[in-house]
């Protein structure tokens, strides 16, 4: 099956970039707001009013911590004719949902979310380019967008985001920096820390000129919620670095590549070291299963000296071992509809070529389409 990738090219000042995003994706933003406000209520017991009051607090935090992000959100609100607090709630939906997951932790919700991500160093790849790849497993109804952003001051960015969210969460920039993410829940997650939100950090990572700067974006101050970040950078052929950073609200843990590759799903490798308890330990079947499987696929290929090709990376993301809770994730029909998550987008990035290949929908039935910065 061939489906066209939804791509927006955005230029100008932060406000203009936001305005064009809002105007061109008006319907998708309206749709995502409806989905998320319904989900806030049904999955996390968060009413529209409470979500907006928390969004108001975050708007102040963002305006102070990252004025350009705040300006871009205001542009999105103006372009899509939505209220700024609704757009802010969408942009801090990670904080609003994940810290509620942690609070109401014993409901069997987070066992269903997930993503599988991996990176292969240039030495492990056929053409000597750094490859970063991810299946983003999420609510199937959410509308995603690929943004090509020409920033006035800062690198150009090519990223995947949800319509209305300023900070792309999977992407690369013109300095060869790349980002992948995995959601994780811990006992210390709390929106009320009111620190720089997750999506703002993603946006700052994708505006970083160096890997070191991108790491600092994660490390700076406490975080509201836990998350995993895979960062990479390649500027010269054959050279390049990748690192995995598991972040809890008060601590970080860096994990380097093992024999040319690294991978992550949705649990901490060492929660005790980070001083947190993983919520729902007994219900992590999907994340543990996907983690073992992706590591096994890397063990049997790049870690025994085989060079990874684009087709090889695509096949890893199409893997069905343990279906439906597989790397290529499908809805688990045993679960109620609102607990079904699946691979919504699949992305493979080549940091040297500043190019990506992606599918909207399951990569097992959809052909990858290429997109260049
Ligand atoms: Zn599949």
Neighbours of 278 (CB within 10 A): 21
- Confidence band, pLDDT 50/70/90 cuts, at residue 45: confident
Predicted local distance difference test score (pLDDT) of residue 113: 62
328 CA from centroid of ligand 1 (Å)? 4
CB 133 within 8 A of CB 313: yes
Confidence of residue 109 (pLDDT cuts 50, 70, 90): very low
H/E element, 65: helix 48-65
Of 91, 86, 94, nearest to 53 (Cα)? 86
Instruction: Give mean pLDDT, residues 279-286.
Output: 61
**pLDDT-derived band at 110, boundaries 50, 70, 90:** very low
Residue with more model confidence, 114 or 17: 17
Pairing of strands 227-233, 177-183: antiparallel
Instruction: Grade residue 35 by pLDDT with cuts at 50, 70 and 90.
Output: very high
Q: Give the residue from 130, 136, 132, 166 showing the smallest Cα distance to 149.
A: 166
Instruction: Tell me how far CA of residue 96 lies from CA of 28, 52, 123, 197, 338, in angstroms.
Output: 20, 10, 40, 10, 17
The pLDDT assigned to 108 comes to 43
In a domain, 295, yes or no: yes
Asked if pLDDT for residue 341 goes beyond 60, the answer is: yes
- 304-320: per-residue pLDDT in tens? 999 999 999 999 999 99
Average pLDDT over residues 181-185: 91
193 located within any domain? yes
Is the predicted pLDDT of residue 281 greater than 70, yes or no? no
Are residues 158 and 146 in contact, defined by beta-carbon separation less than 8 angstroms? yes
- CA–centroid distance, residue 141 to ligand 1 (Å): 17
Please report whether residue 163 resides in a domain: no
Query: Which of the residue ranges 16-25, 176-185, 270-279 would you say has the lowest mean pLDDT?
Result: 270-279
pLDDT, average across residues 16-39: 97
Q: Are 188 and 276 in contact (CB under 8 A)?
A: yes
Rounded to the nearest whole angstrom, what is the distance from the C-alpha of residue 318 to the centroid of ligand 1? 6
Residue closest to 366 by CA, chosen among 332, 349, 333, 343? 343
Tokens linked to 176:
């060869």
- Distance, CA 306 to ligand 1 centroid (Å)? 24
d(Cα 267, Cα 261) in Å, to the nearest integer?
18
* Mean pLDDT taken over the chain: 92
Poorest-confidence range of 40-44, 181-185, 336-340, 366-370?
A: 336-340
What residues have CB less than 8 Å from 299, skipping those under 6 apart?
none
Does residue 20 or residue 331 have the better pLDDT?
A: 20
Structure-token match 């499987």, residue found? 293
For the chain, how many structural domains are there in total? 1
The domain that holds 239 is classified in CATH as 3.60.60.10
Q: Separation of 317 CA from ligand 1 center, angstroms?
A: 9
Ligand 1 centre from 329 Cα, in Å?
A: 6
Ligand 1 centroid distance, CA of 138 (Å): 14
| 31 Cα to the center of ligand 1, angstroms | 25
pLDDT tens figures, 61-101: 999 999 999 999 999 999 999 999 999 999 999 998 877 76
CA of 3 to the centre of ligand 1 (A): 16
Residue 5: cis peptide before it, omega within 30 degrees of 0:
no
The parent domain of residue 183 ranges over: 110-143+176-372
Q: What is the pLDDT of residues 205-261, one digit of tens each?
A: 999 999 999 999 999 999 999 999 999 999 999 899 999 999 999 999 999 999 999
Place of tokens 């000129």: 209
pLDDT at 105 over 60: no
Query: What is the percent of the chain with per-residue pLDDT over 90, rounded to a whole number?
Result: 78
For residue 170, the CA-to-ligand 1 centroid distance in Å is 20
Longest CA span, the chain? 55
CA of 324 to the centre of ligand 1 (A): 8
Q: Is the pLDDT of residue 280 over 60?
A: no
CB 272: neighbour CB atoms within 10 A?
Answer: 9
- The rounded Å distance from CA 342 to ligand 1 centre is 9
Residue 28 lies in a domain: no
Q: What token pair was written down for 114? A: 């997930």
Work out the pLDDT band at 106, boundaries 50, 70, 90: very low
Which residue, among 158, 139, 149, has the nearest Cα to 348 in the 3D structure?
A: 158
User: Residue 89 class from Cβ within 10 Å (0-12 exposed, 13-18 middle, 19+ buried)?
Assistant: buried
- In this structure, is residue 320 part of a structural domain? yes
CA of 364 to the centre of ligand 1 (A): 4
Spacing, Cα 286 to ligand 1 middle (Å): 15
**pLDDT surpassing 60 at residue 283:** no
Q: Given its phi and psi angles, is residue 303 left (phi above 0), alpha (psi -120 to 50 degrees) or beta? A: alpha
State in Å: Cα 202 to ligand 1 middle: 27
* Rounded distance between C-alpha atoms, residue 81 and residue 30, angstroms: 9
Distance 58 CA to ligand 1 centre (A): 37
Predicted local distance difference test score (pLDDT) of residue 185: 85
Q: Does a structural domain hold residue 308?
A: yes
Residue 330 lies in a domain: yes
Average pLDDT over residues 279-301: 83
User: Which residues fall within 8 angstroms of residue 128, CB to CB, at 6 or more apart?
Assistant: 122, 237, 238, 352
- Is residue 126 over pLDDT 80? yes
Ligand 1 centroid, distance to 116 Cα (angstroms):
13
> Is residue 60 assigned to a domain?
no
Around Cβ 237, how many Cβ atoms within 10 Å? 11
322 CA to centre of ligand 1 in angstroms: 11
Tell me how far the alpha carbon of residue 270 lies from the centroid of ligand 1, in angstroms: 30
Average pLDDT over residues 179-191: 91
At residue 104, the pLDDT reads 64
């Amino acid at each position: 099956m061939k489906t066209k990738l939804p791509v927006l090219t955005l230029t100008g000042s932060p406000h203009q970039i936001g305005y064009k995003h809002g105007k061109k994706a008006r319907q998708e933003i309206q749709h995502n707001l409806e989905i998320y406000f319904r989900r806030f209520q049904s999955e996390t017991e968060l009413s529209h009013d409470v979500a907006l009051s928390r969004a108001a607090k975050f708007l102040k935090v963002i305006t102070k911590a990252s004025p350009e992000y705040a300006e871009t959100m205001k542009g999105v609100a103006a372009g899509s004719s939505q209220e700024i607090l609704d757009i802010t709630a969408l942009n801090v939906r990670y904080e609003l949902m994940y810290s509620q997951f942690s609070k109401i932790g014993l409901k069997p919700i987070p066992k269903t979310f997930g993503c599988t991500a991996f990176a292969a160093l240039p030495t492990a790849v056929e053409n000597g380019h750094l490859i970063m790849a991810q299946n983003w497993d999420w609510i199937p109804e959410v509308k995603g967008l690929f943004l090509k952003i020409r920033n006035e001051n800062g690198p150009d960015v090519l990223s995947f985001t949800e319509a209305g969210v300023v900070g792309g969460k999977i992407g690369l920039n013109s300095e060869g920096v790349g980002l992948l993410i995995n959601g994780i829940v811990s006992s210390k997650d709390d929106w009320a820390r009111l620190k720089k939100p997750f999506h703002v950090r993603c946006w700052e990572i994708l505006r970083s000129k160096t890997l070191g700067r991108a790491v600092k974006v994660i490390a700076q101050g406490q975080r509201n919620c836990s998350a995993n970040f895979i960062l990479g950078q390649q500027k010269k052929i054959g050279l390049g670095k990748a690192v995995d950073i598991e972040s809890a609200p008060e601590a970080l843990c860096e994990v380097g590549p093992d024999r040319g590759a690294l991978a992550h799903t949705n649990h901490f490798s060492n929660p005790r070291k980070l001083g947190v308890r993983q919520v729902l330990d007994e219900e992590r079947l999907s994340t543990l299963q996907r983690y073992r499987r992706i590591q096994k696929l890397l063990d049997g290929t790049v870690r025994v000296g085989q060079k990874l090709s684009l087709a090889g990376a695509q096949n890893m993301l199409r893997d069905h071992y343990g279906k439906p809770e597989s790397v290529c994730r499908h809805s688990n029909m045993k679960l109620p509809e609102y607990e079904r998550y699946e691979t919504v987008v699949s992305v493979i990035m080549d940091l040297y070529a500043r190019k990506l290949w992606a599918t909207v929908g399951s990569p097992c039935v959809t052909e990858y389409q290429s997109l260049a910065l």
